[in-house]
């Protein structure tokens, strides 16, 4: 029952943030960053096993490892960008959050361009 | 080991807010501001370690180099 543990940590952190938000909002924001990092670090082992299963499935299906690693990279970029953007939005600076999301979108587009070009090349080869 | 840092940060925050209120009441505005600044920097030191741990873990897991 690890979920009970995580929910309790989250509730305690929320109470502490609400307690500190009146006088010192900057410390409240830092607590919310810390709780985000702590929950991710607690879930790390499970995410690693899920990713390992996905990799073995891809190997069994004879999918090229380049595509699999691009998908993983895109997931990682999306996660980090979402983490930063939510913290910025919590702190009341939504313009910075939108800029972080914009940068993440550009980076994901850049990573997916080779796959798009491969698909286009394939289509051109198939067409007479 | 993980949850300790949460309580550490919250304790520092409460102590800093009480100290800055007391200094404000005593008419020492600059020292209150300095206390707040020092508290934020101390907490930032702890949070930055956590963030760097998180980012290095994400980097190795999702093969972002």
Q: What is the ipTM of this complex?
A: 0.85
Same domain, A75 and A42: no
Same domain, A2 and A36: yes
Nearest-CB residue to A80 (from B2, B43, B58): B58
Distance CA B9, CA B37 (A): 14
For A34, the domain range is 1-61
Q: CB B47 to CB A33 under 8 A?
A: yes
Q: Nearest Cα to A25, choosing from A85, A96, A91, A86?
A: A91
Residue of B nearest to A22 (CA): B17
Same domain, A36 and A69: no
Residues A29, B10 contacting (CB under 8 angstroms): no
Distance CA A127, CA A119 (A): 12
Which residue among A29, A61, A93 closes a domain?
A61
Q: CB B62 to CB A24 under 8 A?
A: no
Q: What is the pLDDT of residue A9?
A: 92
Query: Touching check for A23 and chain B: CB below 8 Å?
Result: yes
pLDDT in tens, chain A (128 residues): 889 999 999 999 999 999 988 888 889 999 999 999 999 999 988 999 998 999 899 999 988 888 888 888 999 999 999 999 999 999 899 999 999 999 999 999 999 998 899 899 999 999 87
Residue of A nearest to B61 (CA): A48
For the stretch B30-62, pLDDT in tens is: 999 999 999 999 999 999 999 999 999 988 888
């Amino acid at each position: 029952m690890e979920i009970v543990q995580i929910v309790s940590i989250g509730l305690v952190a929320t109470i502490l943030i609400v307690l500190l938000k009146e006088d010192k909002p900057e410390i409240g924001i830092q607590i919310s960053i810390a709780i985000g990092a702590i929950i991710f670090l607690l879930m790390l082992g499970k995410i690693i096993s899920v990713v390992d299963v996905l990799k073995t499935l891809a190997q069994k299906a004879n999918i090229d490892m380049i595509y699999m690693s691009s998908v993983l990279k895109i997931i990682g970029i999306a996660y980090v960008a979402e983490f930063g953007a939510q913290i910025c939005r919590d702190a009341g600076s939504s313009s910075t959050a939108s800029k972080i999301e914009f940068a993440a979108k550009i980076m994901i587009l850049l990573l997916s361009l080779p796959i798009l070009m491969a698909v286009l090349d394939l289509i051109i080869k198939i067409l007479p | 080991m993980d949850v300790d840092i949460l309580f550490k940060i919250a304790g520092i925050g409460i102590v800093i807010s009480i100290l800055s209120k007391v200094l404000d009441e005593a008419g020492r505005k600059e020292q209150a501001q300095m206390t707040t600044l020092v508290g934020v920097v101390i907490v930032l030191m702890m949070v930055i370690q956590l963030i760097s741990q998180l980012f290095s873990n994400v980097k190795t897991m999702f093969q972002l180099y």
